[in-house]
Structure 1
Amino acid sequence: MARHIYSCPLRWSDMDAFGHVNNVVFLRYLEEARIDFMFRLAPGNGSPSFSGGSVVARHEIDYVRPLVHRHEPVTVESWVTKIGAASLTIAYEIKDPGQVYVRASTVVVPYDLAAGRPRRITAEEKSFLREYLDEGRGVKDALAA
């Protein structure tokens, strides 16, 4: 099982009055990693996979420790924990070597923008997602470790 690795820069404006990354900013980091995973790394040359749109149905996030501003980027690791007929779950860890700041998951629903409704995951998309599938290692499992 592969993990998608995204190097996420920290911005000065990400800090809150307490001097650490604001809790809502972590959702932006997850979004950046998810977009990089689903759209830039979509399978096939010129493939339309994942390009038709998607919506977030659910976020779950556990804040493990504060992250303070520095010039080095933070790593966001992403993997898939569930593939359904019309949704998938992506798990994440925002981390540095040896320490985790956030563990999270997102339920994503592919969406047909023209029709204005959710759509099923295609065979090509499922094939791509299976490369990152780890059903036994979701966010709750990682928290127990």
Structure 2
Amino acid sequence: MSFEFTTTVDVRYDDLDTYGHVNNVRYGTYLEEARIDYLAEVVARGDRSYLSAEGEGTGIVIANLELDYERPVQSAEAVTVGVRVPRLGTKSFPFEYEVRDGDAVAATGETTVVTYDREAEAPQEIPDDWREAITQFEGL
């Protein structure tokens, strides 16, 4: 897979299990950090303020999470996570991920997110500015 957007996520000491591997539940956190970085750069053009708990307007909620583990990550300082959006629906869209430890793929995953009106506390259509930014970045 090729990814236009990648980000580095630090592997913390408490991410490791008793075998010295990154614990399986930590991969979801790595995907979350990468997804936030993607949205901050691609949609918000570097402005992370929309992510705060007091934020207004559009947010996202996770409708589905899938992970496939290829190989363990052992005592790495950081992993690289590739992120892409392959298509856009009306109110939802998927993120695809690839977690790499050096040159080796450690895991792949996908989340489906639903755009969410924070004030109405209900799903909403993907905002036009989000759609335009993602479409332009991904070449959709």
Q: TM-score, normalised by structure 2?
A: 0.83
In the alignment of these two chains, the number of paired residues is 132
| Cα separation, 2, equivalents of 1:105 and 1:28 | 13
* Cross-structure match for 1:54: 60
Question: Per the alignment, in what secondary structure is the counterpart of residue 83 of structure 1?
Answer: coil
Does the CA-based 8 Å contact 2:40-2:46 persist in structure 1? no
CA distance in 2, matches of 1:22, 1:133: 35
**2:79 touches 2:102 (CA, 8 Å); kept in 1?**
no
Contact 1:82/1:133 (<8 A) preserved: no
Q: Deviations over 1:93-121 (max 9, x none)?
A: 00134310000000011111110101101
Q: Would you say the 8 A contact 1:42–1:49 is kept in 2?
A: no
1:90 aligns with 2:90: no
Using the size of structure 1 for normalisation, the TM-score is: 0.81
Once the two structures are aligned, what percentage of the paired residues are identical? 33
Q: Give the AA of the match of 1:80.
A: V
Residues 100 and 120 of structure 1: is their aligned pair in 2 closer, same or farther, counting only changes over 3 Å? Answer: same
Q: Describe how 1:63-102 pairs up with structure 2 within 5 A.
A: 63-71=69-77, 73-102=78-107
- Consecutive unaligned residues of structure 2, counting only runs of 5 or more, are 52-56
1:110 and 2:111 equivalent?
A: no
- What is the Cα deviation at residue 17 of structure 1? 1.6
**Which whole-Å CA distance do the structure 2 matches of 1:93 and 1:59 have between them?**
14
CA RMSD of aligned residues (A): 2.4
Kindly state the Cα deviation for residue 132 of structure 1 after the two structures are TM-superposed: 2.2
Matched residue of 1:108: which SS?
strand
The AA in structure 2 aligned to 1:19 is: G
2:14 is aligned to: 13
